[in-house]
A and B are shown apart, each in its own frame.
Chain A
Amino acid sequence: MEFFLTTVLKLIPFLRVTILIAFTSMVLGLIFGTLLAAMKLCHIRALKTIANLFTTFIRCTPVIVLIFLSYYGLPVLFGLAGIDINGVSKIVFSIIALTMYASGTLSEIIRPAYLSVDKGQMEAALMSALTPAQAMRLIILPQVVYVALPNFGNMLIALIQESSLAYLIGVVDVMGQAKIIDNMSYGAHIIEVYFAVSLLYWLLSLVTGKCVDLLSGKMGKVLG
């Protein structure tokens, strides 16, 4: 029990790394996911095909494979272009992999959310002398975000959990540090270590879920 508590305390600082990876990938994933969704909804066939192919590839590939592809593949790819990226932090590679995963999945969340907003909303906004850009920003986007918010929350929680796989390329996040503690105690306290890890991920997921719920409630009040 004492070992368990000290392990929890030792692991808490490393939540920073987990949160950094998960939240950065979420933000980047939202940007690229919106872009992908826009590509899927536009009328240019080539863009549509590219976006669909990318999404299919991402959804059919395990996150761990994406992490390995980004960690071992990007240096080769950049090497071909004559750029040396060997000094880049492993955290960056895991963020790139998780961003790919998030953007593929988020585009499939954003696209139906956008389609769920009634066409009349845009027409009414344009009739009220708003420019198309204003109508998009003030009328359509808030409704899209409100519809998609619960799924965004699920995605963020999924990212927090998938980020634990980054320890396999040597990122020292909660999971990575747990592995180190486990090795230093020669595997004698392996159960305590992984209970401590699961407790931390559990708490992080619960807090994140509660925050998303609160945000969703607030938005619901504003949008009526």
Chain B
Amino acid sequence: MNFDLNFAIQNLWMAFSGIPTTLLITFVAAVIGIPLAFFIALARIRKVPLLDQFLTLYLSFMRGTPTIVQIYLVYNGIPIIIKMIV
């Protein structure tokens, strides 16, 4: 296996074509996440009963598990939840 610079340059453009997807995921997550974070912070500052305890648990889970596991959980979990509701 050798390092082929030409191959890298040729395929750089193909890699660039993924940038819109990256930006889309980032910006949509930020646009939804930041207002949500604002309300979560508000609920925790005001110490809203029940909601505060739930959010503490939720935040600890979100900060304690790898993003890749969260992606798997959401990707496989949401269809199951939808199936249960429908």
Contact = CB atoms under 8 A, between A and B. Distances in A.
A155 to B, nearest CB: 13
A190 interface: yes
Interface string B51-76: 00000000011011111111011001
Most buried by A among B3, B69, B70: B69
A7 B32 CA distance: 34
Interface residues of A, number: 22
A195 interface: yes
Interface of A: 72, 75-76, 79, 157, 161-162, 164-165, 175, 190-191, 194-195, 197-198, 201-206
Interface size class, chain B: 10 to 19
B23 interface: no
Contact of B73 (A162, A165, A195): A195
Interface of B: 1-3, 60-61, 63-70, 72-73, 76-77, 80
Nearest to A179: B72
A202 B3 contact: no
12 contacts: A76-B1, A76-B3, A161-B65, A175-B69, A191-B77, A194-B73, A195-B73, A198-B65, A198-B69, A201-B69, A202-B61, A206-B60
B66 A165 contact: yes
Contact of B1 (A75, A164, A203, A206): A75
9 nearest A-B pairs in the assembled complex, by CB-CB distance: A205-B64, A161-B66, A164-B66, A202-B64, A198-B65, A194-B72, A190-B76, A201-B65, A198-B69
